[in-house]
Amino acid sequence: MRFGKIEENEKIIKFNLELKCNNCEKKVPGGMKTGEKYFQTEEYFAQLNEFKKTYLCGVCRDKKRTDN
């Protein structure tokens, strides 16, 4: 999954996260990609923390969409 900012012709950094669904606590693979300039910046860490707080697995995300 792409995360953050990736500019044109910028080197892409691949990294893994320990992700859990915030609804069902299921562990999910966290293979992510981001741009070299964005990786490890303050903005990156702020967005990463927000992403982890609101992350839903595919099953829970789809259930939420159909309920709305």
How much is the pLDDT for 67?
85
In this structure, what is the dihedral angle of CA atoms 46, 55, 30, 39, given to the nearest 10 degrees?
-20
Q: What is the mean pLDDT of residues 30-34?
A: 88
pLDDT band of residue 59 (cuts 50, 70, 90) is very high
What are the angstrom distances between the C-alpha of 22 and each of 25, 26, 54?
6, 8, 7
